[in-house]
Structure 1
Amino acid sequence: MTGQGLAVGATAPDFTLPDANKTPVSLSDFRGKQPVLLVFYPFAFSGVCTGELCQLRDDLSTFADAGVQVLAISCDTAQSLKAWGEQQGYQFPLLSDYWPHGAVAQAYDVFFDKAGMALRGTFLVDVDGVIRFAEVNPPGQARDQSAWQRAVSALAPA
């Protein structure tokens, strides 16, 4: 497990993944339009992940008000993400990095190959496709989302 994540200042690798409804979503769709918060997480329906994404759901206006699109990514199938998203009422896309298994998590250096899952990697990508905030937390360790909010605030023009 390397799992260091990509560095701030790096260009975010583009990707296209299906959402819970199997609709393709590409990072490049947002380039030149709005920043994107990429939230990689290990598994749908797990305790820590549910807690994190519910907090994100409850604080979504912080990101929406700043014009930031949230994209949550795991190696789960689209079908399981659809069931989980409906159960929890998530109002942001849940993207499936199921096949090729973990390819996008690998591109962002947050794939834990021994467990076949994404680590808790968080990346704020600006409108030009540059990573402005990057954080990787180990399995089982919940993230402090206040750091994400500070990074979003720092994107705002002075």
Structure 2
Amino acid sequence: MTDAGLSPGGAAPDFTLRDQFGQDTSLSSYRGKKAVLLLFYPFAFSGVCTGEMSEIRTRLDEFLTFDTEVLAISCDPVFALRAWADTDGINFPLLSDFWPHGEVARAYEVFDEKKGSPTRSSYVVDRDGNLAWAVHHAYALARDLDEHLKQLRAAAG
């Protein structure tokens, strides 16, 4: 794990990004309704990222409920995200932080300037819009999705 990123306790930076279908998604639209798991990942079509997103797709009924949402964020363009979603059957929001390049990843302090992508970082935002939990991993290490699910459910109340 790394030390990058914002610490839990404060308000989550709001954003509006386009998903793989070109639809705008705003974090603030979930405030008062759902806890949200934000998954920043380096690159579409890469090995570890594909494995993680495929596992979430397989377990989607656990991650997406009346009380919870999952949003995956990278700096890939919308068209690349659509191709990846179609190729791998990813059926939850993949958000493009392409332009201004990495603006949301920078707001969450997880943008890697050398690689031009987010680090492998996760946040849980509670129903009130506050950061409830965060974890940051090295590029080559996959996330513990069981722990992510536990933290997401705890934030949902």
Q: With structure 1 as the length reference, what TM-score do the two structures score?
A: 0.93
Aligned partners of 1:156 and 1:114: how far apart in 2? Answer: 35
Matches within 5 A, 1:135-146: 135-146=135-146
Matches within 5 A, 1:1-158: 4-65=4-65, 67-157=67-157
**What secondary structure is seen at the aligned counterpart in 2 of 1:95?**
strand
1:101-120 Cα deviation digits (max 9, x unpaired):
00000100111010000111
Once superposed, what is the RMSD of the aligned Cα atoms?
Answer: 1.4
Q: Provide the identity percentage.
A: 49
State the number of aligned residues: 156
Could you say if the C-alpha distance between residues 62 and 136 of structure 1 is closer, same or farther in structure 2, counting changes exceeding 3 Å?
same
How far did residue 3 of structure 1 move?
6.1
Contact 1:3/1:111 (8 A) holds in 2 = no
Contact 2:124/2:155 (8 A) holds in 1 = no
How far did residue 65 of structure 1 move?
3.4
Aligned partners of 1:22 and 1:150: how far apart in 2? Answer: 30
Contact 1:66/1:156 (8 A) holds in 2 = no
Could you say if the C-alpha distance between residues 66 and 7 of structure 1 is closer, same or farther in structure 2, counting changes exceeding 3 Å?
farther
Contact 1:20/1:95 (8 A) holds in 2 = yes
- Return 5+ residue gaps in structure 1 as ranges: none
Could you say if the C-alpha distance between residues 75 and 51 of structure 1 is closer, same or farther in structure 2, counting changes exceeding 3 Å?
same
How far did residue 96 of structure 1 move?
0.3
**What secondary structure is seen at the aligned counterpart in 2 of 1:65?**
coil
Contact 2:67/2:156 (8 A) holds in 1 = no
Aligned partners of 2:111 and 2:3: how far apart in 1? Answer: 6
- Return 5+ residue gaps in structure 2 as ranges: none
Q: With structure 2 as the length reference, what TM-score do the two structures score?
A: 0.94
1:80-101 Cα deviation digits (max 9, x unpaired):
0000011111121100000010
**What secondary structure is seen at the aligned counterpart in 1 of 2:43?**
coil
**What secondary structure is seen at the aligned counterpart in 2 of 1:4?**
coil
